[in-house]
C-alpha cells in the first residue's frame, strides 16, 4: 500500500459484531479425504484424527490423509465400508463398525485389520455384519450395536460374542434389534438408542433392560422412538436426538422436555432430524441436524444459534446435513457432513473482533475503506473512510450514522476522504480530510464548519490536505498537512500559525509534509515528516532540531519517513518509520533500531500502541506485532489469527478510553483488548509419520524400538508431524541426529530430515515441534539408529588388516631393496667380466701386432664392431638401471606413505599394548588407555579406508548412468546443510546449458561433496562465502567449474603439489589433504582431468573436464 497520504488506501469496513464470527475450515476430497461423507470422527491416544466415510477409513495428521480401503487380495485390509462407527480401546487398538463387513480391529503398529463377522454356524460369532455403534465400558468390555442383530458384548480372551436381542414375550429384553447408539453414563449404566424401539437403560450386572419410548397418551415421554444420538451433560441431564427434534431427559425425575423446529421462531432448533449431539469443554451443547445445519444451545435462554451453509460465504458450514460432531484435545470442533466433507472450527484464542462488511445487516458502514479511527469518552466510535465520509457508531445500539459530503449543502462535511479525527480540550470534534481541509463538527445541529486554505489570507490553513490532528496539554490543536507544513489553531480566533521549511534555515521544519505529531511528558512536541526525519520543536524559541538518517552513522534514525510516535512509561521515545522501529535515547540523542532481521514482520511501522504490560503493538504491512521492549521479543500475528488482513494503514490506529485497541487495514479493522489475545497453550504430541530408505517408505510401525541399518543403506529420511490441528501450517520443527549433528537443526515448517553417508555407528534421532503459536514440545520423540559396519570395517578386521599391511609394506620394501641390490651386483659382475675379456683380447692383438699389420683394414673393422657392441651393452645397462630407479622411487613413495601414516598409530598401539600386557596400568588410567587405543585404531582405520578407496577407484570398473547434475549438487548441499548454514554460504548453480551427463554417478556425488566441503573449510572469514557452479559443453569435452571467493592458494609455490596425496596448504584449518587427490583420482578413472586457477585472497576455481557424453 502507499505509505500514507495518497489516501487511496482502501480499507474494507464493516458492520460491528460483538463476537468474532465462527469460521469453518473445510477438508474434503481436495485435501485428500477419501469420500465426502464424514460419518464418524475420533482422536486416538497418539493424537491422530480418524474419520469413517462411505469409502474407506481416513487418518489425518494435520497435513494429509492416510486412507485405508478394502482390498480383495489382502486379507489384512479393512473388511468393508461405509464405516458407521469408531472406538479406541484402552490398548490403543481401533475398532471399526462397517456396513456388511462386520466388526474390524485395527492394529496401529502392524497397520493390519482383524475381522469379526457373523458365522451362521457359530452362535458365539458377531450377530450381524452391519455394526452401527461401538463402545468400550469401564470394565473393558467391547459392545457392538448392530442393525438387526441386537447388542453384542465381546470377550477379548475367548474372542466370542454374547448377544442381547429383543424377545417380544419378555419386556426386560432389548426393545429393538437395530442399535444405533451406545452411551455409558457416570454410574456405569448403558443407554441404548434404537431405530424404532426408543431408548433402553441397561444394567450390565443384572442383564436387564428398562424401556423409554414414545407414548401418544403421555406428553411426558419420548417424542420419537427413532434414536440417533445420546449425550449426558455435566449437570447429569440426558440429551436425546431423534427423528423429531431434541429431547432433554432428567434421569432423576424421569421428566422430558422437547425442542423442535418452529418456523415462526428463528431461535428454535433449526431442524428436527437430530443426528449428533456433543457437549464441548466449555459446557456448550452442539446439535447437528440433517438438513438444518449446526446448532449451539443457550441453556439460559433456551434458544439456539444456527450455523448453516451460505454459498456466498466460504467460511460458512460446508453443508446443512450434519452427521457427526467431535472436539479434539486442543479444543478444535470437528463437524462431519453428508456429501461436503469435514468442517473444523478452531478455538477463539485470538479475540480479534473483526469489523467487516455484512450484507445481512442493514446497520453497516457505508464504505469499505478506512483512514482514521477515534473513540470519545462516551464510547462513541468515529470512523473516517476513504470515500464514504465520516461514520458514527453508537456504543449502545451499535447503530451507524453517516456524514457525507453534499456539494449543495455547505454545512455537510467538506470531503468524503477523512484522514484524521480528534477532540480538543473543549470537547469540539475536529475532522481532517485529504482534499477539503479542516472541519469542526456541531453535535447539536449535526453540521460542519469548514476551514480551508485561502491564498489571500496568511492566517488561514496552509494546505487542504490534512494528515493528522493533535491536541496538546496546553489546549493547542496542531494540524499536520501534506505539503503545507505544521499548523497551530488559535481556539479563539480560529486562525492558524504556520511552521514551514525554510531552505536557508537549519532550525526550521525539515520537510513540509508532516505525518505524526506527539507531545512527550515534558511538554516537548515531536514532529515526524515524509522525508525529513524527526523534528523536536521548541515552543519557546519556535525552532526545530532535526534528526535525520546518516548512512555513515549507525546510531542515527533508520529512515527519514516517520509514520508514528509514542513515549512509553519509562520515558523512551519510540519512532515508527519506513525502515523499522527506532528507540530514541533522549540523553545521548542516539537511535537504536529494530527491523525484520530482529523479528519484525515488516519494516513499515504504521502505528504504535502500548498495553498495560508495556508491550508495544505495531501495525505493519505484514500483520500486527507485539513487541516486548525489555526482553526484545517479537510476537507476530497475521490474517490466519483473525486479523482483517496482513496489510494495515497509516493513521488507522487508536486506543480507546477503556483500553481497547483499534487497528484498520484494507479489509476492515480489528478491535480487541490486548490482554485477551492468548496463545494456543496446547503442547502437541510429536510423531514420526514415515521412514524411508532410498526414498522408499518402510512401515515405521513395525520398528519396535531401534532402527538397524546395513552399511549400504546410507540414504534415509524421516517424516514427522506435530499433531496440532489449529493452523498446522504454522507448526515449527527442529531435529538432531545425536552423534552426527552438533546441534538442533531448526527447519521451520519443514517436517522431514534426510541423511546420507553416515558412518557405521550408533546414533539417536530426535525431533521436537511446536504448535501454531510457538509453544514447543521440548521432549519431543527420539529413536535409536544403528548402522552396522561391513565385515571389512569391523574392529577385528581393521586390526588384522593394519598389522598385515604394515608387515606387507615392510616386507615388500625389504624384498625389493634386496632384489635391486642383487641385480646391480650381477650387472656389475657382467660388466667387469666383459671388460676383462676385452682387455685380454686387446693384449692378444697387441702381441700379434706384427702379424696383423698386413691386415690393418680387417683389424680396424673388428675394432669398430667391438666398440659398437660395447656401446650397445652400456646402453642396455643404463636403460635397465633407469627402470629399476623408477620402480625404486615408486616403492619408496609407497613405503613413505605407509610408514608415515602407519608408523605413529602402530607405535602408539604397541606401546599401549605393552603397558596393558605388563599390568602397569592403574584402574583409574584404564579408561584413558582404552580411549587412546580406540583413537589410534580410528586413525589407522581412516588411513586404511583412504588407501583402500584409492585402490578401489583405480581397480574397479564403475557403471556409467545418466546423472542429473542439479540433483547431485542439491544432495551435496543437503548433506552439508548445517555447515552451509553455519558459514552463511550461498551456492549458486547454473545448469541451463547442461542439465545431465552420462557418467559414473557415485563419483560425481563424491566430487561435488568434496569440492563444496573444501570451499566451506577454506572460506575467507572476512566475507560471506559464495560458491558458483556451472556446467557447459565445450566440443568433445564437458567443463564443470566450481568457483569460490575463499582464501585462495599460492599457485606459484603450491600449484605443483595441489593434487598430491596428503598435501595441505592452510594448516590453521582442519583437514587431511585427501579430498583433492580423491577428486583427481575419480576424474582420471572416468577419463577426465582437473585444473585449478587460484589467487590468494580472492578465491579458487576448479575446472573439471569429462568426455561429452550428454544424455
The SS3 call for residue 996 is strand
Mean pLDDT of the region 230-238:
96
Q: Which of 463-467, 646-650, 880-884, 902-906 has the highest mean pLDDT?
A: 463-467
pLDDT in tens, 161-170: 999 999 999 9
**pTM for this prediction:** 0.70
Question: Which secondary structure element, helix H or strand E, spans residue 220, and what is its range?
Answer: none
E strand spans, 935-1088: 961-964, 986-990, 996-999, 1026-1034, 1037-1044
Mean pLDDT of the region 252-259:
96
User: In whole numbers, what is the pLDDT of the chain averaged over residues?
Assistant: 87
pLDDT in tens, 663-722: 998 888 899 999 999 999 999 999 999 999 998 998 766 455 789 999 888 899 999 999
- Residue boundaries of the structural domains of the chain: 25-354, 686-789, 793-813+872-953, 958-1107
What percentage of the chain exceeds 70 in pLDDT?
85
Asked if the model's pLDDT at residue 831 lies above 90, the reply is no
Q: Return the pLDDT at 82.
A: 96
Asked if the model's pLDDT at residue 777 lies above 90, the reply is yes
Q: Return the pLDDT at 899.
A: 44
Q: Give the span between the Cα atoms of 951 and 799, in whole angstroms.
A: 19
pLDDT in tens, 374-387: 999 999 999 999 99
pLDDT in tens, 511-562: 999 999 999 999 999 999 999 999 999 999 999 999 999 999 999 999 999 9
Asked if the model's pLDDT at residue 1089 lies above 50, the reply is yes
Angle at the Cα of 412 from the Cα atoms of 411 and 415, rounded to 5 degrees: 130
Q: Return the pLDDT at 828.
A: 76
Mean pLDDT of the region 743-748:
96
pLDDT in tens, 391-416: 998 888 778 899 999 999 999 999 99
Terminal CA-CA length for the chain:
49
Q: Give the span between the Cα atoms of 1039 and 1036, in whole angstroms.
A: 10
Q: Return the pLDDT at 600.
A: 98
* Local confidence band at 832 (pLDDT 50, 70, 90 cut-offs): confident
CATH number of 958-1107: 3.30.565.10
- Pseudo-torsion of CA 458, 464, 469, 474, nearest 10°? 10
Q: Do domains 686-789 and 958-1107 have the same CATH topology?
A: no
Asked if the model's pLDDT at residue 970 lies above 80, the reply is yes
Check residue 641 and report its DSSP letter. Answer: G
* Local confidence band at 890 (pLDDT 50, 70, 90 cut-offs): very low
| pLDDT-wise least confident of 286-295, 909-918, 1091-1100 | 909-918
Cβ contact 80:99 at 8 Å: yes
Distance, C-alpha 164 to centroid of its chain: 52
Unique residue bearing C-alpha cell 432433554: 248
Asked if the model's pLDDT at residue 819 lies above 70, the reply is yes
The domain defined by 686-789 folds into Immunoglobulin-like (2.60.40)
Q: Give the span between the Cα atoms of 415 and 431, in whole angstroms.
A: 10
Cell (9 digits) for 92: 490403543
Mean pLDDT of the region 189-214:
95
Q: Give the span between the Cα atoms of 35 and 37, in whole angstroms.
A: 6
Q: Which of 665, 672, 632, 668 is nearest to 651 (CA)?
A: 665
The domain defined by 25-354 folds into Methylamine Dehydrogenase; Chain H (2.130.10)
Q: Give the span between the Cα atoms of 539 and 522, in whole angstroms.
A: 12
Asked if the model's pLDDT at residue 497 lies above 80, the reply is yes
Q: Return the pLDDT at 935.
A: 59
Angle at the Cα of 64 from the Cα atoms of 62 and 67, rounded to 5 degrees: 125
Asked if the model's pLDDT at residue 73 lies above 50, the reply is yes
Q: Return the pLDDT at 812.
A: 77
Q: What is the side-by-side strand order in the sheet with 761-770? A: 706-709, 776-787, 761-770, 733-738, 745-748
* Local confidence band at 927 (pLDDT 50, 70, 90 cut-offs): low
In this structure, are strands 83-88 and 94-98 parallel, antiparallel, or unpaired? antiparallel
Q: Give the span between the Cα atoms of 421 and 417, in whole angstroms.
A: 12
Q: Return the pLDDT at 893.
A: 41
* Local confidence band at 814 (pLDDT 50, 70, 90 cut-offs): confident
pLDDT in tens, 412-428: 999 999 999 999 988 99
Cβ contact 604:561 at 8 Å: no
Q: Give the span between the Cα atoms of 382 and 389, in whole angstroms.
A: 11
* Local confidence band at 76 (pLDDT 50, 70, 90 cut-offs): very high
* Local confidence band at 315 (pLDDT 50, 70, 90 cut-offs): very high
**More confident: 912 or 550:** 550
Q: What is the side-by-side strand order in the sheet with 190-194? A: 179-184, 190-194, 199-203, 208-212
Amino acid at each position: 500500500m502507499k505509505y500514507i497520504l495518497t489516501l487511496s488506501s482502501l480499507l474494507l469496513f464493516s458492520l460491528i459484531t460483538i463476537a468474532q464470527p465462527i469460521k469453518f475450515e473445510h477438508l474434503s476430497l481436495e485435501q485428500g479425504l477419501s469420500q465426502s461423507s464424514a460419518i464418524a470422527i475420533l482422536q486416538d491416544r497418539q493424537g491422530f484424527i480418524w474419520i469413517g466415510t462411505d469409502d474407506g477409513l481416513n487418518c489425518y495428521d494435520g497435513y494429509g490423509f492416510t486412507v485405508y480401503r478394502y482390498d480383495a487380495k489382502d486379507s489384512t485390509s479393512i473388511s468393508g465400508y461405509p464405516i458407521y462407527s469408531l472406538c479406541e480401546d484402552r490398548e490403543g487398538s481401533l475398532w471399526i463398525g462397517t456396513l456388511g463387513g462386520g466388526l474390524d480391529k485395527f492394529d496401529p503398529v502392524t497397520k493390519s485389520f482383524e475381522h469379526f463377522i457373523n458365522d451362521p454356524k457359530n452362535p458365539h460369532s458377531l450377530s450381524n455384519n452391519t455394526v452401527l455403534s461401538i463402545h468400550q465400558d469401564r470394565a473393558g468390555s467391547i459392545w457392538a450395536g448392530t442393525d438387526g442383530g441386537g447388542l453384542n458384548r465381546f470377550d477379548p480372551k475367548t474372542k466370542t460374542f454374547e448377544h442381547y436381542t429383543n424377545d417380544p414375550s419378555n419386556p426386560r429384553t432389548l426393545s429393538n434389534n437395530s442399535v444405533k447408539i451406545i452411551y455409558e453414563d457416570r454410574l456405569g449404566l448403558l443407554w441404548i438408542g434404537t431405530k424404532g424401539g426408543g431408548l433402553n437403560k441397561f444394567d450390565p450386572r443384572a442383564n436387564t433392560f428398562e424401556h423409554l419410548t414414545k407414548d401418544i397418551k403421555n406428553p411426558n415421554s419420548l417424542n420419537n422412538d427413532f434414536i440417533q444420538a445420546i449425550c449426558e451433560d455435566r449437570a447429569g441431564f440426558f440429551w436425546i436426538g431423534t427423528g423429531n427434534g431434541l429431547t432433554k431427559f432428567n434421569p432423576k425425575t424421569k421428566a422430558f422436555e422437547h425442542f423442535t423446529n418452529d418456523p415462526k421462531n428463528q431461535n428454535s432448533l433449526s431442524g428436527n432430524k437430530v443426528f449428533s449431539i456433543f457437549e464441548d469443554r466449555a459446557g456448550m451443547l452442539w446439535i447437528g441436524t440433517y438438513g438444518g445445519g449446526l446448532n449451539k444451545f443457550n441453556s439460559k435462554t433456551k434458544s439456539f444459534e444456527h450455523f448453516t451453509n451460505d454459498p456466498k460465504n466460504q467460511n460458512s458450514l460446508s453443508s446443512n446435513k450434519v452427521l457427526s460432531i467431535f472436539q479434539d484435545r486442543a479444543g478444535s470442533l470437528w463437524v462431519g457432513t453428508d456429501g461436503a466433507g469435514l468442517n473444523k472450527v478452531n478455538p477463539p484464542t485470538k479475540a480479534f473482533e473483526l469489523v467487516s462488511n455484512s450484507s445481512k445487516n442493514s446497520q453497516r458502514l457505508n464504505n469499505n475503506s478506512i483512514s482514521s479511527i477515534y473513540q470519545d469518552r462516551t464510547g462513541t466510535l468515529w470512523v473516517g473512510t476513504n470515500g464514504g465520509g465520516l461514520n458514527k457508531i453508537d456504543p449502545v445500539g451499535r447503530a451507524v450514522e453517516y456524514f457525507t459530503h453534499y456539494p449543495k449543502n455547505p454545512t455537510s462535511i467538506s470531503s468524503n476522504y477523512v484522514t484524521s479525527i480528534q477532540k480538543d480540550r473543549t470537547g469540539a470534534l475536529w475532522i481532517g480530510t485529504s482534499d477539503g481541509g479542516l472541519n469542526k463538527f456541531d453535535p447539536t445541529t449535526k453540521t460542519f464548519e469548514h476551514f480551508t486554505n485561502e491564498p489571500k489570507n496568511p492566517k488561514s490553513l496552509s494546505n487542504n490536505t490534512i494528515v493528522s490532528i493533535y491536541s496538546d496539554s496546553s489546549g493547542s490543536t496542531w494540524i499536520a498537512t501534506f505539503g503545507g507544513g505544521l499548523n497551530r489553531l488559535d481556539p479563539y480566533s480560529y486562525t492558524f500559525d504556520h511552521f514551514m521549511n525554510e531552505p536557508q534555515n537549519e532550525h526550521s521544519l525539515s520537510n513540509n509534509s508532516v505525518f505524526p505529531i506527539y507531545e512527550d511528558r515534558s511538554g516537548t512536541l515531536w514532529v515526524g515528516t515524509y522525508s525529513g526525519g524527526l523534528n523536536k520543536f521548541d515552543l519557546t524559541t519556535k525552532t526545530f532540531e532535526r534528526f535525520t538518517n546518516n548512512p555513515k552513522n549507525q546510531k542515527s534514525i533508520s529512515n527519514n519517513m516517520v509514520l508514528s510516535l509514542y513515549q512509553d512509561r519509562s520515558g523512551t521515545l519510540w519512532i515508527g518509520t519506513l525502515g523499522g522501529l527506532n528507540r530514541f535515547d533522549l540523553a545521548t540523542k542516539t537511535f537504536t533500531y529494530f527491523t525484520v532481521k530482529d523479528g519484525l514482520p515488516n519494516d513499515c511501522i504504521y502505528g504504535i500502541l502500548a498495553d498495560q504490560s508495556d508491550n508495544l503493538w505495531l501495525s505493519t504491512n505484514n500483520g500486527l506485532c507485539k513487541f516486548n521492549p525489555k526482553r526484545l521479543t517479537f510476537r507476530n500475528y497475521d490474517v490466519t489469527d483473525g486479523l482483517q488482513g496482513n496489510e494495515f494503514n497509516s493513521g488507522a490506529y487508536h486506543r480507546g478510553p477503556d483500553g481497547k485497541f483499534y487497528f484498520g487495514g484494507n479489509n476492515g479493522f480489528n478491535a480487541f483488548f490486548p490482554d485477551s489475545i492468548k496463545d494456543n497453550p496446547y503442547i502437541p504430541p510429536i510423531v514420526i509419520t514415515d521412514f524411508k530408505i532410498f526414498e522408499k517408505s518402510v512401515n515405521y510401525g513395525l520398528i519396535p524400538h531401534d532402527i538397524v541399518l546395513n552399511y549400504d543403506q546410507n540414504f534415509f529420511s524421516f517424516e514427522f508431524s506435530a499433531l496440532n490441528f489449529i493452523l498446522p501450517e504454522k507448526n515449527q520443527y527442529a531435529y538432531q541426529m545425536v552423534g552426527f549433528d552438533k546441534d538442533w537443526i531448526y527447519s521451520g515448517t519443514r517436517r522431514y530430515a534426510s541423511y546420507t553417508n553416515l558412518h557405521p555407528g550408533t546414533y539417536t534421532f530426535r525431533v521436537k515441534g511446536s504448535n501454531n503459536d510457538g509453544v514447543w514440545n521440548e521432549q519431543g520423540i527420539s529413536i535409536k539408529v544403528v548402522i552396522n559396519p561391513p565385515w571389512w570395517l569391523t574392529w577385528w578386521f581393521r586390526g588384522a588388516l593394519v598389522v598385515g599391511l604394515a608387515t606387507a609394506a615392510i616386507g615388500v620394501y625389504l624384498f625389493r631393496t634386496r632384489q635391486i641390490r642383487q641385480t646391480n651386483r650381477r650387472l656389475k659382475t657382467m660388466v667387469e667380466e666383459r671388460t676383462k675379456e676385452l682387455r685380454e683380447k686387446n693384449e692378444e692383438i697387441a702381441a700379434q701386432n706384427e702379424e696383423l699389420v698386413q691386415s690393418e683394414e680387417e683389424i680396424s673393422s673388428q675394432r669398430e664392431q667391438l666398440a659398437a657392441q660395447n656401446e650397445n651393452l652400456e646402453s642396455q645397462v643404463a636403460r635397465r638401471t633407469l627402470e629399476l630407479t623408477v620402480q625404486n622411487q615408486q616403492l619408496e613413495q609407497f613405503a613413505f606413505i605407509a610408514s608415515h601414516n602407519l608408523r605413529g598409530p602402530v607405535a602408539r598401539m604397541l606401546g599401549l599394548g605393552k603397558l596393558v600386557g605388563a599390568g602397569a596400568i592403574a584402574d583409574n588410567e584404564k579408561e584413558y588407555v582404552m580411549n587412546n587405543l580406540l583413537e589410534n585404531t580410528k586413525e589407522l582405520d581412516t588411513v586404511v579406508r583412504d588407501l583402500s578407496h584409492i585402490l578401489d577407484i583405480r581397480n574397479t570398473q564403475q557403471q556409467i548412468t545418466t546423472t542429473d547434475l542439479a540433483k547431485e549438487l542439491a544432495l551435496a548441499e543437503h548433506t552439508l546443510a548445517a555447515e552451509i548454514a553455519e558459514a552463511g554460504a550461498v551456492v549458486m548453480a547454473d545448469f541451463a546449458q547442461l542439465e545431465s551427463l552420462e557418467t559414473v554417478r557415485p563419483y560425481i556425488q563424491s566430487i561435488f561433496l568434496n569440492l563444496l566441503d573444501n570451499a566451506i573449510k577454506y572460506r575467507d572469514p572476512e566475507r560471506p562465502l559464495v560458491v558458483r557452479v556451472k556446467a557447459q559443453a565445450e566440443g568433445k569435452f564437458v567443463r564443470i567449474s566450481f568457483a569460490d571467493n575463499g582464501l585462495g592458494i599460492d599457485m606459484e609455490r603450491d600449484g605443483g603439489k595441489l593434487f598430491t596425496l596428503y598435501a595441505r596448504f592452510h594448516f590453521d584449518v582442519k583437514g587431511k589433504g585427501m579430498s583433492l587427490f580423491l577428486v583427481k583420482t575419480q576424474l582420471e578413472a572416468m577419463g577426465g582431468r582437473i585444473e585449478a586457477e587460484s589467487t590468494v585472497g580472492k578465491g579458487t576455481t576448479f575446472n573439471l573436464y569429462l568426455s561429452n557424453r550428454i544424455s
